[in-house]
Amino acid sequence: NIKSKEDVYNAIENNNVKFIRLQFTDIQGVVKDVEIPVTQVKKALETGISFDGSSIEGFVRIDESDMVLRPDVRSFALLPWDQGKGVVARMVCDIFKPDGSPFEGDPRYVLRSILKEAHDLGFSLNVGPELEFFLFQIEKGKATTKPHDFGRYFEFAPADLAEDIRREIVLGLIDLGFNIEAAHHEVAFGQHEIDFKYDDALSTADNVVTFRYVTRTIAKLNGLHATFMPKPLTSENGSGMHVNLSLSKDGKNAFYDSQDEEEVDQMTYHFIGGILEHIKGITAISNPLINSYKRLVPGYEAPVYITWSGPNRSSLVRIPAARGQSTRVELRSPDPSCNPYLTFAAILAAGLKGIKEEIDPGEGTDVNIYDLTPKGLADRNIETLPPTLLDAANHLAKDDFLRDALGAHVHENLLRIAYAEWDAYKLQVHDWETNRYLNAV
């Protein structure tokens, strides 16, 4: 458990660490890193390491490109593989401008600033994500969409061929300090889920980024391709990243109220109310790819309608049945391609607004929403999530609250990237179109 520079120096010595990877993410949540030999670690911790930010997506203009990485000592961990040329450790970094002020395009900074707002109200945020991913075969050095196995939900060997690889990923994550709760085959062919215990929001966002590269690396070492693409196979479930959230106050779960009939504190409903009010704009952040919207369709366990409920799993937002310290809200729309820092920041900002303004989430929906007819949906005033990235981006563009929460820099860059993605997609004629229309008209 590392808390100071001294702890880092001791850990380096005790483990004979030779290299340190300084890790951060761009605005899309893509992990970047620069490796330094341990001889540079003192400099990194004392003054930071300079780098050119201009070639990182969503960072800065060329004329102000000198940025400084400052490692967060609490994130020090030993990487579990490739120790042949010496032990490698990683530290996650915060990004600063040359004048020493934090860089407003650093996703970690954006999350930190919302967490500070929560802290000023006496709250800290716990987040537990459930990342799903696919394992595909590699042929001639190239990833395919051929599933590695034909297992189904919770299936066992021989249908589940990935037991050993999943276990290897789990062991790698444990080495990196993860507290793993469960690992299982998911519903789709070749699809898996590994759950780790919730933690404070910043550590969890770091963990999501780490989880993705550990999974990809260990799959690759086993000759497989791991992907967090939200919907790689047309007729199979896609991969989600349910986000479980709770607020703590004075070390206690603030969503739990033993006196309430449902044992749920009223602020939980307001938190949900805030999220629902801003969910359309949030979706551009939590579901950032063209492909994300192919997952958010009826019939594949993914949410489509903007509703909340108790334990019923067809809703966008759920309050799972667990109480006490496990009382939580589960948002089911995010997918594992998102930037976790910005996603958690946007969700928390909206939830806090809900608490401050006591936003009413409306009636819970206790029926299976997928069974409702269009009239049933209309009678209940049930709205849908944005159907495309374009629609989601338009909602984010109009959402002044989210712009203020994320900062103008991040808001503008997210929109620039989303619209560019849409424009590139729009130019393509897809196989589906030729198959459907070539002979029909």
Catalytic residues: 52, 130, 132, 186, 193, 242, 313, 330, 332
Using CB under 6 A, which residues numbered 307 to 326 contact ligand ADP? 325-326
| Cβ at position 320, least distance to Mg ion in Å | 8
Nearer to ligand ADP, 51 or 123 (CB): 123
108 part of the interface to ligand ADP, by CB under 6 A: no
Nearer to Mg ion, 129 or 386 (CB): 129
**From the list 36, 92, 162, 245, which residue makes contact with ligand ADP (rule: CB under 6 A)?**
245
126 part of the interface to ligand ADP, by CB under 6 A: yes
- One symbol per residue from 327 to 346: x for binding ligand ADP (CB under 6 A), - otherwise; what is it? -x-x----------------
- One symbol per residue from 119 to 138: x for binding Mg ion (CB under 5 A), - otherwise; what is it? -----------x--------
| Cβ at position 304, least distance to Mg ion in Å | 16
Strands 317-318 and 308-309 turn out to be parallel
Residue 337 CA to residue 334 CA, distance in Å, equals 8
| Cβ at position 203, least distance to ligand ADP in Å | 12
252 part of the interface to ligand ADP, by CB under 6 A: no
| 316 contacts: CB under 8 Å, gap ≥ 6 | 276, 279, 303, 305, 306, 307, 308, 331, 332, 333, 385
**From the list 107, 128, 288, 334, which residue makes contact with ligand ADP (rule: CB under 6 A)?**
128
Nearer to Mg ion, 325 or 388 (CB): 325
197 part of the interface to ligand ADP, by CB under 6 A: yes
291 part of the interface to ligand ADP, by CB under 6 A: no
**From the list 198, 211, 293, 305, which residue makes contact with ligand ADP (rule: CB under 6 A)?**
198
Pull the structure tokens for residue 269.
């409903």
| 189 contacts: CB under 8 Å, gap ≥ 6 | 147, 149, 150, 151, 152, 233, 236
Residue 130 CA to residue 346 CA, distance in Å, equals 18
Nearer to ligand ADP, 180 or 382 (CB): 180
Q: How far apart are the first and last CA of the chain?
A: 67
Pull the structure tokens for residue 370.
């997928």
Nearer to Mg ion, 194 or 406 (CB): 194
Stretch that binds Mg ion, among 147-155, 191-199, 360-368, 396-404 (CB under 5 A): 191-199
The entry of ligand ADP, Mg ion, none near residue 124 (CB within 5 to 8 angstroms by kind) is none
| Cβ at position 240, least distance to Mg ion in Å | 7
193 part of the interface to Mg ion, by CB under 5 A: yes
| Cβ at position 303, least distance to Mg ion in Å | 11
The entry of ligand ADP, Mg ion, none near residue 246 (CB within 5 to 8 angstroms by kind) is ligand ADP
Stretch that binds Mg ion, among 2-10, 159-167, 235-243, 400-408 (CB under 5 A): 235-243
Q: Which residue is nearest to ligand ADP (CB)?
A: 128
**From the list 185, 242, 278, 403, which residue makes contact with Mg ion (rule: CB under 5 A)?**
242
> Considering CB under 6 A, how many residues would be counted as binding ligand ADP?
17
Q: Which residue has the tokens 């994500």?
A: 129
302 part of the interface to ligand ADP, by CB under 6 A: no
Nearer to Mg ion, 35 or 181 (CB): 181
Binding site for Mg ion (CB under 5 A): 130, 193, 242
